[in-house]
A and B are shown apart, each in its own frame.
Chain A
Amino acid sequence: MAITKMLQKTTEASYFKGSIPMEYKYTAGVAGELFLKALRDEGKLLAGVCPECGFSYLPARMFCERCFTGIEKFNDAGLYGILLAYTIAFENFKGEPLDEPVVYGLINIHGTDTTLIHRLGGKNMENLCIGEEIKAILTPKNKRQGQITDILYFEKV
């Protein structure tokens, strides 16, 4: 009898447990390094503007994906923007329930052409509306680490 017909019950099926034990250290990249250092040291959000089409990327990028040209001009885009969408998460990424729900938003910083995902928090959270003016609230300077989490959350203005 063909072996493939030999497994009669699913309770006979066995499995083997294991893990992939890898860890990662990602560099921020040439542009990413500038962006995160400006955030950490100066509390600024840098956008990169394409010299050909004028498209403004935030976080700053090293090249324009549309024109395939290098970007060398980086502007301080400020901390204010508009809320484009939001969602409320009740579980973490492993599917475990959160102690408190977390609100994530899709944010466009004024004057830039891209969107950013980040947490929403602070005051007036019950009445969040799409289209609201919001502001980035940063962690205190001495606690910043050069990560996107140096922005603590975005808050309704």
Chain B
Amino acid sequence: MELKKEMLRGTQLSESDFRAGKVITTDWKPELHYAWDNGVGIGYYLAQLKAGKITASFCNKCNRIMLPPRAFCELCFKPTDGWVDVLDTGTINTFSVSLVDWAARRIKKGERPHTPAVIEIDGASPGHGMLHLIGEIDPYEIKIGMRVKAVWKKPEERTGSITDILYFKPIREPKASRKK
């Protein structure tokens, strides 16, 4: 049986009907506040961020140095074997230049677009990246493959959060290495 337009139900409301309250609605703002347990893996990761370090966990069986650190290896399904500090430099795997925020609102005129990136951190296994922001560069000059370094908050301002790193900035390579 072909599905024809007149067989399909659904009452479309226009944006203006909705906003002008022409249709009865019930408004509700749930109070959804959480205290998420950090667990073993992330708990230590955050404590180390407060100390100005990025720390990964390693699995001897799979030979992986994992970021963010996990308490168990999801590939071989056993507890991870220990911690290892990695560097705070890395390579941009991919990035975006976003003109909308988390609620799909456009940024204000003159405001710098948000520049999130997946950064493969030096010292972690290849492909192990973290989500963070890129700064100190024109958003439209960011390139995949760019080398970047973390810019940290002052020690007294750190709280044990991913935002203890403000953003990653491009590493300007010294001239000598470009001559190759």
Q: Is any CB of A less than 8 Å from a CB of B in the complex?
A: yes
A-side interface residues toward B, CB under 8 Å? Answer: 1-7, 12-28, 30, 32-33, 36-37, 94, 146-147
Task: From known contacts A3-B57, A4-B40, infer whether A20 and B34 are also in contact, taking CB-CB under 8 Å.
Answer: yes
Digit string of B54-91 for contact with A (CB within 8 Å is 1, else 0)? 00010000000000010110000011111100000000
B-side interface residues toward A, CB under 8 Å? Answer: 11, 13, 18, 23-38, 40-41, 43-44, 46-47, 57, 69, 71-72, 78-83, 160-161
Q: Kindly list chain B residues whose C-beta atoms are within 8 Å of the C-beta of A22.
A: 30, 32
Partner of A25, one of B27, B44, B71: B27
CA A6 to CA B69, docked complex, whole Å? 14
Q: Kindly list chain A residues whose C-beta atoms are within 8 Å of the C-beta of B82.
A: 1, 3
Task: From known contacts A4-B71, A4-B79, infer whether A20 and B32 are also in contact, taking CB-CB under 8 Å.
Answer: yes
Tell me if B40 and A14 are in contact (CB < 8 A): no
Q: Kindly list chain A residues whose C-beta atoms are within 8 Å of the C-beta of B47.
A: 14
Partner of B24, one of A12, A23, A36: A36
Tell me if B43 and A18 are in contact (CB < 8 A): no
Task: From known contacts A36-B24, A37-B24, infer whether A30 and B36 are also in contact, taking CB-CB under 8 Å.
Answer: no
Tell me if B161 and A3 are in contact (CB < 8 A): no
By beta carbon, the residue of chain B nearest A32 is: B24
- Shortest C-beta distance, B31 to chain A (Å), equals 7
CA A23 to CA B11, docked complex, whole Å? 23
Q: Kindly list chain A residues whose C-beta atoms are within 8 Å of the C-beta of B33.
A: 17-19
Q: Kindly list chain B residues whose C-beta atoms are within 8 Å of the C-beta of A33.
A: 23-24
CA A32 to CA B11, docked complex, whole Å? 13
- Shortest C-beta distance, B41 to chain A (Å), equals 7
Partner of B28, one of A13, A17, A26, A94: A26
Q: Kindly list chain A residues whose C-beta atoms are within 8 Å of the C-beta of B71.
A: 3-4
State the majority secondary structure of interface residues on A: mixed
CA A37 to CA B11, docked complex, whole Å? 17
- Shortest C-beta distance, A37 to chain B (Å), equals 7
CA A15 to CA B71, docked complex, whole Å? 16
Tell me if B79 and A13 are in contact (CB < 8 A): no
Question: Lowest 3 CB-CB distances: which A-B pairs, in order?
Answer: A2-B79, A20-B32, A4-B79
Q: Kindly list chain B residues whose C-beta atoms are within 8 Å of the C-beta of A16.
A: 35-36, 38, 46, 161
Partner of A18, one of B31, B34, B40: B34
By beta carbon, the residue of chain B nearest A94 is: B31
Partner of A5, one of B31, B36, B44, B79: B79
- Shortest C-beta distance, B22 to chain A (Å), equals 10
Tell me if A2 and B81 are in contact (CB < 8 A): yes
Task: From known contacts A3-B57, A7-B40, infer whether A24 and B27 are also in contact, taking CB-CB under 8 Å.
Answer: yes
Q: Kindly list chain B residues whose C-beta atoms are within 8 Å of the C-beta of A21.
A: 32
CA A14 to CA B82, docked complex, whole Å? 19
Tell me if B25 and A26 are in contact (CB < 8 A): yes
A18-B36, A147-B26 given; 20 more Cβ-contact pairs under 8 Å: A3-B71, A3-B81, A4-B40, A5-B79, A6-B40, A7-B43, A13-B37, A14-B43, A16-B46, A19-B33, A22-B30, A22-B32, A23-B30, A27-B13, A27-B24, A28-B24, A33-B24, A37-B24, A146-B24, A147-B24
Q: What are some 12 contacts across the A-B interface (CB < 8 A)?
A: A2-B79, A4-B40, A4-B79, A6-B40, A14-B46, A15-B36, A15-B38, A16-B38, A20-B30, A26-B26, A26-B27, A28-B24
